[in-house]
A and B are shown apart, each in its own frame.
Chain A
Amino acid sequence: MTDATEQDREPRPGLIPIPRSTAMVWVNLAITIIIAAIGFGVGFGQGVKAQDVIIGTLISLAVTLWLLNYVVVIFEMRAATRSLSATERKGEVRGLWQRNRALIISMGLLLLAYLIVTASVPEFRSVTNLIAFLVLELILLFAFKVSGYFASGRSAFIGLIVLGALIIISSFTIEGFLSGPNVKAILLFAAFLGIACVGQTLVALMGGLDLSIPFVIGSANIGLLFLISLGVPSFVALLFVLVIGGLIGLVNGLLTFKLQGQALILTLGMGFAVAGLTQILTSIGSAFGGNVFGTVPPWLQNLAAMNGTTFGLAFPPTILIWIVLAIIVIIGLRWSAYGRYVYALGGNRRSAKLIGVSELKYWTLAYVISGVFSALTGSLLLGWSGGGFIGVGDPYLFTTLAAVVIGGTSLMGGYGGYGFTVIGVLVLQVLSSFLIGIGLKYEWQQFIFGLLILPMVALYGRAPHIRAQV
């Protein structure tokens, strides 16, 4: 107990962290210059404008130096407190193996895989692949060793490293990865996924799940177009769809509150019912079962289409909406009473109830928010695609869950946040863009997503052994 309080009280690094040992300063400076030089060279190699390259190099120089110094300062502080409390020591070599066996094994396996592939496939022997391999090893090193020092934001730290590594690797291997249109596309799809994930994050923070999201997205998609084609003014129709989404969320929330622990099945059932009902309603009097035809109003198209403009700037407003929304949700979860109560309920239901937090209210509200934002995603997707299609939500069935989980929000509740989910969403989208870029088809992407989730979660989301739970 005393250790924890001491660690809590330890001074945080200043705005401009400077390590105590001068050797580390020089090492940091050297690493920074090497990284900047690589960026410089690559920038010129790809034929970017000279000013951009210089500005980019300077920025990356500053940021990398700051980050490295920050990490070193944190290390030094922890080492100081640790050396005070450390009293016992095992045999040196054995202890080293004991503490790092997972790291050593995984790095060794990666090295082995790389060597085998390099030896057997001649086309694989290229500089970019070597760099990619080194970056992967670095990720492992960082993920295992450094992340332990970030007690609270460990998953976010890993996520950011993976994200950074992915961007570096993809910009090396794929032509035009960092070009304007591609970045815009990544951000746009990330925005769709991110908006759909707001509710999933909130619900997961309280230990629930919402699998009705994809069905609500699909239903909102065709429902909105149906209403517009009936002649309802488009703003009113959008509002109506959002309200209906909220109502579905309300029913979800009430039912799952009553049936604790069955959220997965219940929301799935609700999703089935909603999707079926919407399709029945929209296809009454129509010869084409399930298909809705109509024209999407221009403002909605501008909102979400790739060539949309925001206040004259050439990016769709959806991205701006997502950014604003993310800031609001992050701040709200961190500082508003609602956000704090959500964490309290997720952390320990009973104690939260004992201090007078209304379980029903906050639980249900989270589901209502989930319903509203799913409906919003569906409406925005209508603007993006320009045609109604019930299956538009299908990819979101497990991707919302995957983004939340990869970001590091615990599905048991009480730990995580929307900021983590944003990282998870970006990781997923950049990865998918990378996989498309190197020519992998959708099925391979799905396969790799599936395999990615496990190690990501295993790095930070492990439950204690049962002997620690009794």
Chain B
Amino acid sequence: MSERSSSTSTYLLVPIVLIALLLGTAAIRNPSLVSLSGFGSAIIVAAPLTMATYALMSLAVAGRGTVDLAVGPLMAFINVSIVKLNMLGVVTGPFGVFFVALGLGVLYQLLFALIVIWVRVQPIIVALSGFLALSGINLVILPRPGGMAPEWMGSWGLGTTIFSPVLLIVLIATAGWLLFTLTPFYANLRMMGYDERAAWTSGVRINVVRVGAHVIAGLFAGLGAICYTALIASGDPTQGTTMTLTAVTALVLGGVSLSGGRGGVTGALLGALNLYLIGFVLATFNFGAIQAFVTQMSYGIILVLSLLLTLLVPVIGRHISFISPWGAFLVLGAVVVGIMLQVATSGTYLPAEPVAGAAQGPLMTRYLLEVPMAGAGIGIAPLSPIQKAAFIAALGLVVLVFTARLINAESRARRMGLFLYVLVAVLIIALFAVVAAQGHSTLLDGGAP
């Protein structure tokens, strides 16, 4: 065990590789993703799914095969409650709305936990019961999609900028979970999820821990409902089932074990982003009338495949234990950032010469870029100083990481998590800075000359 310090998060390799592939493809297929509005709308669309996945994740870690099928209907329930209360004029202010949303989420999950603990029925049955009851009551509260979100939420869902309140919610939730993992409570939670009997025998107060996990899930569900309300700016009682199914898919895609004890916010986040990107990439291929079916089928196949891949995780861990998931994340991240920058700016510095694309025939223009890369060249010459700086910084980071990794392997240190978190954060902030500094007009016009 001590020889393979990276084996605890080997399961993250799959989602990391997948997200790099998807992000690269998405950027190439549709360059408008790499812009302020592209990122902004991506964050806003993916945020509810991410939050739902977080909620499922915190329950899955708690074990007993807890998959809260009701998470979708719960978010829809909070959504329609907010909208209904807003329309009635009872709760309109931000504090009230947040209070109602988080309160309802926590209340439901508390009930769930108490039933599981005291009535001692299987969590799946409680979840099933909650699913049916909430889907029913949602339609009673709001018979059809409609209504108005609170007015102050109006600008949240526009997605014209990256730094929207929705991003703040996601960041706070993520950071909150990461801070939570530092507490002993989290250790108890994982222990309970891994082996409840062992945890009980060694003195963990499993009832308290279980209630805690559910309360956290309730908070996530409440935040997710707020993001969802901001996204659709109205109430929709019908989307619960879909959201449950996609969130469960994202959870599995993120490598979280449904049998408990394994999983974390990183996996859940990657899973949710992967799922969003799959939809995004598929949308760039124009399938016409059967678009929805292709998406549905791909979700299914990817779900099954990623489950099968989890079988390979131990094998991967045994054979390539020298690859740390974080190292892979940084390398692939640098590559993807490179692709994005190239794609986003290729039009800006191109000499206006679209004839080359036409000569290559329809095949190339359809499956590759709208603007062929030939004009941009491989040289670094057309890069702006900021881009150059970003590339050099990314390269420097990779070198730094591998040096650190080497030192770590030599010294057999237990963990270097914090260091890597900082590096990742710097990388992401650098990307944001570059995109923001590029300015609105050049990037938006750059995609399609």
Contacts and interface: CB of A to CB of B under 8 A. Distances in A.
Interface string B404-443: 0000000000000000000000000000000000000000
A24 B51 CA distance: 62
Secondary structure at chain B's binding surface: helix, strand, loop or mixed? helix
A290 B293 contact: yes
Nearest to A461: B121
Contacts of B294: 276, 280
Nearest to A279: B293
A274 B300 contact: yes
B242 to A, nearest CB: 11
B132 A447 contact: yes
Most buried by B among A287, A450, A467: A450
Interface string B127-144: 011111111111110010
Interface in A421-458: 442-451, 453-454, 457-458
A405 to B, nearest CB: 6
A350 to B, nearest CB: 17
B120 A465 contact: yes
A14 to B, nearest CB: 38
Contacts of A451: 129, 133
Contacts of A255: 304, 307-308
Nearest to A271: B300
Nearest to A467: B200
A256 to B, nearest CB: 10
B248 A265 contact: yes
Contacts of B288: 289
A266 B289 CA distance: 27
A273 B259 contact: no
A266 to B, nearest CB: 6
B296 A276 contact: yes
A411 B115 CA distance: 17
Given A266-B307, A450-B134, A272 B296 contact: yes
A443 to B, nearest CB: 4
B75 interface: no
B2 interface: no
A454 B126 contact: yes
Interface in B189-225: 196-197, 200-201, 206
B121 A463 contact: yes
Nearest to A394: B241
Contact of A269 (B126, B143, B307): B307
A428 B204 CA distance: 41
B121 A458 contact: yes
B125 A411 contact: yes
A454 B297 contact: no
Contacts of B136: 442-450
A265 B245 CA distance: 9
Contacts of B67: 264-265
Interface in B224-272: 241, 245, 248-249, 252, 258-259
A258 B311 contact: yes
A398 B132 contact: yes
A429 to B, nearest CB: 15
Contact of A270 (B292, B300, B310): B300
Given A269-B249, A398-B132, A462 B119 contact: yes
B384 interface: no
B124 interface: yes
Interface in A265-305: 265-266, 268-277, 279-280, 283, 287-290
B132 A269 contact: no
A271 B297 CA distance: 9
Contact of A280 (B125, B132, B297, B304): B297
Contacts of B295: 276
B380 interface: no
Nearest to B310: A259
A402 interface: yes
A261 interface: yes
Contact of A457 (B121, B143, B248): B121
B298 interface: yes
Interface string A36-51: 0000000000000000
Interface in A337-372: none
A261 B303 CA distance: 15
A447 B290 contact: no
A466 B197 contact: yes
Contacts, number: 176
A272 B128 contact: no
B293 A283 contact: yes
A22 interface: no
A458 B119 CA distance: 6
Nearest to A399: B132
B177 interface: no
A273 B289 CA distance: 17
Given A450-B129, A453-B128, A265 B258 contact: yes
Interface string B65-76: 101010000000
B258 to A, nearest CB: 6
B289 A466 contact: no
Interface string B278-321: 00000000001110111111111111100110110000000000
Contact of A444 (B130, B140, B300, B304): B140
A442 B135 CA distance: 10
Contact of B289 (A283, A397, A445, A463): A283
Interface in B56-98: 65, 67, 69
A266 B303 CA distance: 7
Contact of B115 (A271, A276, A454, A464): A454
A287 to B, nearest CB: 7
Contacts of A289: 288-290, 292-293
A370 to B, nearest CB: 17
Contacts of A275: 293, 296-297, 300
B307 A259 contact: yes
A191 interface: no
A276 B300 contact: yes
A276 B297 contact: yes
B201 A266 contact: no
B155 interface: no
Nearest to B197: A470
B122 interface: yes
Contact of A402 (B132, B248, B290): B132
A203 B413 CA distance: 47
A401 B249 CA distance: 20
Contact of B197 (A272, A277, A469): A469
Contacts of B130: 450
A283 B293 CA distance: 10
A411 B122 contact: yes
Contact of B303 (A265, A405, A447, A466): A265
Interface string A394-416: 00011001100100000110000
B144 to A, nearest CB: 11
A262 interface: yes
B385 to A, nearest CB: 48
B290 A398 contact: no
A277 B300 CA distance: 10
Given A287-B289, A458-B119, A462-B121, A450 B311 contact: no
B293 A268 contact: no
A447 B290 CA distance: 34
Interface in A379-400: 397-398
Nearest to B207: A466
A139 to B, nearest CB: 19
Given A443-B137, A446-B136, A272 B303 contact: yes
Nearest to B287: A280
A141 B200 CA distance: 36
10 contacts: A265-B303, A268-B303, A289-B293, A290-B292, A398-B69, A449-B132, A457-B121, A461-B121, A465-B120, A470-B201
A-B CB proximity, top 8 nearest: A276-B297, A272-B300, A289-B289, A450-B133, A450-B132, A273-B300, A447-B136, A269-B303
Given A258-B308, A280-B290, A453-B132, 9 more contacts: A259-B308, A265-B67, A269-B303, A271-B300, A276-B293, A279-B293, A287-B289, A442-B136, A447-B140
